[in-house]
Amino acid sequence: MIRYIIKKELKEIFRDGRFKISAAIVFLLALVAFFVTFKQYKNTAAQYNEAKVNERKVWESQGAKNPHSAAHYGNYVFKPKSPLSLIDQGVDKYTGVSVFLEAHNRNEAAFSDAADQTALSRFGALTPDFILLYIIPLIIILIGYNIFSKEVEGNTFFILKSQGVVGWKLFVGKWLAALIPTMVIATVLFAVAAIALTSLNDFGLFEWKEIFALYFVYLLYYLIFINVVLFISSKVKKSGIALVINLVFWVLACFVAPKVASNLADAKYPYPSHQEFNEQIANESKQGLDGHNPWNEESQKLRLQILKEYKVDSVHKLPFNFNAFLMQKGEEYQAQVYAKHYGLLKEKAKKQGGVYKSLSSISPFLPTRFLSMAIANTDYESHWAFTEAAEEYRVGVQRFLNGTTEKNAKYNERYVAPADTWSKLEEFSYESPTFTEVYKQNTGVFSVLVIWFVLTAALLFFTNKKY
Amino acid sequence: MFRYNFKYELKSLLRSRWLLLLSLLLLIVVLFAGYNGKEKVNERVKQLDKVVLEANTNDATMAKVLDSIEKGLQVSINPRRMPNAPMNVAYNYPRVAAIPAAPLTFISTGQSDLFTHFIKPSAYGDSFSLDYSELANPIQLLFGSFDLSFVIIYILPLIIIAFSYNILSEEKEYGSLKLLASQPISIYQWILQKTALRFFWLTLITMAVITITLLIFGYNFSANFLAFLQLVSLVCAYILFWFTIVLLVNLVINNSAKNAVSLLAIWVFVILIVPAVVGQLANSFYPIPSRTKMITEVRELKEELSSKQDKILDNFLRDHTEYASKDGNNNYSFWHKYIASQELVEEELKPLISSYEDQLTKQQDWVRLWQYSSPAILMQQSFNNLAHTSTSHYQSYRNQVFKFSKEWRNFFKPMLYGNKNFTTKDYKELPSFKYKAPKNNLVLFKVIVLLVFSVIFILIGRQVYINKIKKGTVIS
C-alpha cells in the first residue's frame, strides 16, 4: 500500500513543472555557489600559504637587532581556512584572518572580508550553506504544501477512503514521498562536495565523519521541515492558505528568528565598544608593572624583592639581566590583564551564545546553523580558539625574546642579538578543534535539534489519526 | 462602480478582520524594529558624547597648563605630556574624528555594525591603516539586525502576497467571477480598482505605522521633512511595485495555489537570489587584493626605511629647506626622523593603499549600476543612504579622516622643525574634524524607476487580459 502511495506521489511531484524547474534552479545555483566558493577558497589558501612563508622570511631576516626591538617589530600569524568551509563559511566573512603579535599588546584579528565589501554582501552570498539552509526548505514546502490538502480540494479523499486505505499507511506514504526528492537533492549536493574535497590536495585534511555529521544534521533539519509542512498541509483544507502558512513559518524560522535572537542577545549582553574595551585594559595596565619604566612603583617593589631573594645589594650583581627580567615580568602582567579582559569578553560571548541556544527552541534554523558552523570549524568558537592560540604564541615569543636578553647581556647594557637568533623561535602552528571536541561542545544544540524532530514527528503522527 | 467597489472592499476587509490584524501586526513589527535601531543609535551617541567630553576635559587641562607655562609658573606634569612641546600635543591630545548619526540612522543598520564611529588620529601611526573595525560578535553580524529596512524590504512584500495572492483567482474558484462578468462592468477595471484599493489601504496603514514609529522615537519632522518624504515615497513606490506584481500574476495565472507559488518564487528571486548574485559578481569582478600581502609589503617597506631614517631626514630637509635649521643646530629628535620617514612611507604606499579603496569603489559602482535589477537592492541602497550607513558613507568618512590626519600632522610640522613652542594661540588654531556626508539626491530617480516598473507590469497585465478576452479564457 505504502509503495503505491509513494509511487503515485512521486509521479505527481516529478510530473509537476514547478518541481522540475525549481530543482533545476537549485542545482544550477548550487553549482555556481560551489564554483565561486571553491575559487575563493583556493585564492585564500594560496594567499595564506604565501603570507605565511613571507612572514617567516621577514622575521628571520631581521639581522642583528635588540630582541626587544624585534618584539616591537612583531610578527603576524594567519588563520588557516578549514576544508569544510567549502560547504559552510559560517562567520569567516566577519572575522579577521591575521593577528599582529607584538610586545605589550594583544591585537584583534584584523581585516575581515565583510569590511572590504559593499553593503550588498549583507543580504547573504550565494554559497552552499545559503542553499542548504534557506532554499532546500523552500523546495520542501513546494513539494509538500498541498500533499494532503489537494486530496480534500480535489475530492479524491473519499475515493482513497473507499479503497480502504489505512490512515497511518497513507500518512507514512506521503511522508516518505516528500522525503525522497529532498534526500536525493541533499545527497547529490553532499556527494559533489565530498568528491570535490577528496579530489583536491590543497584542501587540507578533512575527516569523513565530519562531512557525514554535517549531512546528518542537514537531514534532521529537512525532516523537521517535512514534518511541519505536512502537519500544516493536513490541517488546512485549502492549498493556497496552506502554502501561505508554510511560507510564514519559513520566514519566521529562517529570517526573523535569527535576527530577533541577535537583537535580544545584544540587548541583554552588550559588547563593549572597541574604544571602551581598550580603555579598560589600558587603565588596568597602568596600575601594574611597566616593563619599560624601572621607576614605576611595582618595578621598585619587584627590584627589592629580587635583591632580597638573591642576597645582593645591587641589580648589577644579579646573575641575569634585570632589565630583561623586568620587561618579561611586565609582559606577564600585561598578558594577565589581557587574559582577564578577553576572558570577560568570552564570558559575554558565551552568554550571548546561551541566548541563541535558548532561542533555538523557537526555530529549527538556529540549532542547524550553529551545528553546521561548528562542524565546519567556521563558528565563533573556532575563531576564539585561533585567537587564543595566537595569544599563547605571543606570550611565548616575548618569553623567548626577553629570555635571550636575560641570558646574554648585563644590566643596562644594550644587547644586540646575532642575526641567527630569530630562526630559533618556534614557528606558529594552529590545529583547529577536533571533531570530538566540537561534538562535546555542541551536544546541547544537537539535542535541541533532535527534540525538534521528535516533537514535530509526534505532532504529525498524533494529529493524523483521522486519516 | 468605484464607489461600490470601495464600499465592498472596505466592508469585506473590515469584516474579515484583515485590516485590524494587519495594522496591529505591522505596528508591532515596525515598533520592535524601530526600537532595535534606536537602541543602537542611542548607544552610539552615548559613546561619542563620552569620548568628546573626555577630549574636551583633556583640552581644558592642557589649555590651563599652557597658560601657566606662558605666565612663567611652575607646572607639575609628566614631561612627556608637556603641552608646550608641539609633538606632545600632536601625540597626546588628538581630536575626535567622528561620523555622527543622522536623524534616520535607526531605520537601517547597513554597515554601521562593522565600523567604529569615531577615531582619534594622532601624529604617530599610519593614517592609512587606522583600525575602523568595531568589536562585535560575528554571529550578530552574520544574522543581521531586525531593523526597519528589513521589515520593509523582506516582510512587507510577503504581507502583500499573503494579503492578495488570490485577489482574482478566489472569485474564479468560488464561481463568483461568472456573476461579476454578467454585470455591465469591465473585469479588468474591476480588478484594477480592487488592487488599487488594497494598495491604498496598505499604504495608508504602513504610512501611519511608520509615522507613529518615527514620532515615538523622537524624529524631528520639521527639521528633516525632506528625508521623511524620501523615505515615505520610496516605501509607497515599493508597495506599489509588489501590488502590480500581484496583479500581473493574478491575471496571468489565476489559480490560487499556483499564484502563491509563483509570487513566492518571484519574492525569492528578487529579494534573495538577485542581490546575492549581484553581490557575488561584484566581488568576483573587482576582488579586493590580498590583505595579507599588504601586511607583508607594508612591513618590508617600513623595515627598509627605518634603517635609512637619517638619510631620509637629510633628503626631507633638502626638499623642504624652510624646515632646515638655520643656526646649524642638528640635534634632531625621534619626531624629526619619524615625521620625515612617515611622509615617505605614505607616499610610497599610496598606490597600494588606494588599490583597496579603488576596488571597493568599483564594487560600489557595479552595485549602483545593477541595483535596478532588483527593487530589493535599490531599496537597501536608498535606505542605507538615508540612514547614512552605506558603504560609501563609511568610505568617505575614512577618506576624510585620512586627509584630516595629514592636516593634523602638517599643522605641527613647522613648529617641530622650526623648534618653536606650542602656544595658546596655536591651541586656538588647532584643526578640527567635521564630517561631511557624501551627496546623494537620487531618491526621486529611484522612486521613478520603481514607478516605471509598476506601470510596465500594469501594461503587461492589460495586454494579457486583452489576449485572454480574445481567447475567452478569463472566467473559465
Is B46 part of the contact surface with chain A (CB cutoff 8 Å)? no
Instruction: Look at phi and psi of residue A418 and say left if phi exceeds 0, alpha if psi is from -120 to 50, else beta.
Output: beta
Spell B333-365 as b/e; 16+ CB within 10 A means b: eebbbbbbbbbbbbebbeeebeebeebbbebbe
Q: Closest CB to A58: pick one of B144, B300, B356.
A: B300
Burial (Cβ within 10 Å: 0-12, 13-18, ≥19) of residue A356: buried
Q: Tell me the chain A residues in contact with residue B275 when contact means C-beta distances shorter than 8 Å.
A: 120, 123-124
Is B174 part of the contact surface with chain A (CB cutoff 8 Å)? no
Q: Tell me the chain B residues in contact with residue A345 when contact means C-beta distances shorter than 8 Å.
A: 135
What is d(CA B316, CA B305) in angstroms, rounded to the nearest whole number?
13
**Which residue would you say has higher pLDDT here, A177 or B326?**
A177
In terms of average pLDDT, the best of A186-190, A351-355, A359-363, B241-245 is B241-245
> Dihedral of CA A206/A211/B141/B265: which sign?
positive
> Dihedral of CA B22/B24/B27/B30: which sign?
negative
Is A347 part of the contact surface with chain B (CB cutoff 8 Å)? no
Q: Tell me the chain B residues in contact with residue A256 when contact means C-beta distances shorter than 8 Å.
A: 146, 155
Task: Write down the pLDDT at residue B476.
Answer: 67
Q: Tell me the chain B residues in contact with residue A91 when contact means C-beta distances shorter than 8 Å.
A: 138-139, 141-142
Q: Tell me the chain B residues in contact with residue A145 when contact means C-beta distances shorter than 8 Å.
A: 257
Mean pLDDT of chain B: 88
Q: Is there a contact between A125 and B279 if contact means CB atoms under 8 Å apart?
A: yes
- Which grid cell sits at B397? 568618512
Task: Write down the pLDDT at residue B407.
Answer: 92
What is d(CA B232, CA B228) in angstroms, rounded to the nearest whole number?
6
CA closest to A77 among chain B residues: B292
What is d(CA A372, CA A379) in angstroms, rounded to the nearest whole number?
9
A103-160 pLDDT, tens digit each: 888 888 878 888 888 888 888 788 899 999 999 999 899 888 888 888 888 888 888 8
What is d(CA B278, CA B285) in angstroms, rounded to the nearest whole number?
10
Please check the confidence at residue A217 and state whether its pLDDT lies above 90: yes
Task: Write down the pLDDT at residue A54.
Answer: 84
Q: Give the number of A-B residue pairs with CB atoms closer than 8 Å.
A: 223
Among A72, A241, A273, which would you mutate to test the B interface (most chain B Cβ atoms within 10 Å of its Cβ)? A273
- Give the distance from residue A84's alpha carbon to the nearest chain B alpha carbon, in angstroms: 18
Mean pLDDT of chain A: 86
Q: Tell me the chain A residues in contact with residue B154 when contact means C-beta distances shorter than 8 Å.
A: 251, 255
Q: Is there a contact between A36 and B280 if contact means CB atoms under 8 Å apart?
A: yes
What is d(CA B287, CA B360) in angstroms, rounded to the nearest whole number?
8
Q: Is there a contact between A352 and B256 if contact means CB atoms under 8 Å apart?
A: no
B positions 51-110 inside 8 Å of A (CB)? 51, 110
> Dihedral of CA B46/B52/B58/B64: which sign?
negative
Beta strands B97-98 and A75-78 are: unpaired
B positions 282-341 inside 8 Å of A (CB)? 282-284, 287-288, 290-293, 295-296, 299-300, 303
- Which grid cell sits at B136? 562585535
- Give the distance from residue B272's alpha carbon to the nearest chain A alpha carbon, in angstroms: 7
A positions 112-151 inside 8 Å of B (CB)? 112-126, 130, 134-135, 138, 142, 145-146
Q: Closest CB to B292: pick one of A97, A266, A275.
A: A97
Average pLDDT, consecutive stretches of 10 residues, N- to C-terminus, chain B (476 residues): 80 79 89 94 92 92 90 82 88 92 93 91 80 89 93 93 85 83 84 90 94 93 92 96 95 85 89 90 85 78 78 78 63 80 83 86 89 93 93 92 91 88 90 90 88 95 91 77
Task: Write down the pLDDT at residue A255.
Answer: 92
Task: Write down the pLDDT at residue B326.
Answer: 58
Q: Is there a contact between B299 and A260 if contact means CB atoms under 8 Å apart?
A: no
In terms of average pLDDT, the best of A31-35, A367-371, B471-475 is A367-371
Q: Tell me the chain A residues in contact with residue B141 when contact means C-beta distances shorter than 8 Å.
A: 91, 94, 114
Q: Closest CB to B136: pick one of A125, A258, A271.
A: A271
Is A462 part of the contact surface with chain B (CB cutoff 8 Å)? no
What is d(CA B318, CA B324) in angstroms, rounded to the nearest whole number?
8
Q: Is the ipTM of this complex over 0.95?
A: no
The HSE-up count of residue A334 (CA atoms within 13 Å, CB side) is: 24
Q: Tell me the chain A residues in contact with residue B440 when contact means C-beta distances shorter than 8 Å.
A: none
A positions 48-67 inside 8 Å of B (CB)? 48, 50-51, 54-55, 58, 62
Q: Is there a contact between B146 and A239 if contact means CB atoms under 8 Å apart?
A: no
Burial (Cβ within 10 Å: 0-12, 13-18, ≥19) of residue A354: middle
**Which residue would you say has higher pLDDT here, A324 or B268?**
B268
CA dihedral B100, B103, B106, B107 (to 10 degrees): -130
What are the angstrom distances between the C-alpha of B289 and each of A127, A263, B294, B354, B451? 21, 33, 8, 11, 39
Is A229 part of the contact surface with chain B (CB cutoff 8 Å)? no
Q: Tell me the chain B residues in contact with residue A51 when contact means C-beta distances shorter than 8 Å.
A: 290, 292-293, 295-296
Q: Tell me the chain A residues in contact with residue B165 when contact means C-beta distances shorter than 8 Å.
A: 240, 244
Q: Binning pLDDT at 50, 70 and 90, where does residue A204 land?
A: low
Task: Write down the pLDDT at residue A391.
Answer: 93
Task: Write down the pLDDT at residue B329.
Answer: 58
What is the average pLDDT across A209-226?
A: 94
Q: Tell me the chain B residues in contact with residue A250 when contact means C-beta distances shorter than 8 Å.
A: none
Q: Is there a contact between B259 and A240 if contact means CB atoms under 8 Å apart?
A: yes
Q: Is there a contact between A114 and B165 if contact means CB atoms under 8 Å apart?
A: no
Q: Is there a contact between B137 and A275 if contact means CB atoms under 8 Å apart?
A: no
Please check the confidence at residue A355 and state whether its pLDDT lies above 80: yes
CA closest to A78 among chain B residues: B292
- Which grid cell sits at A33? 555557489
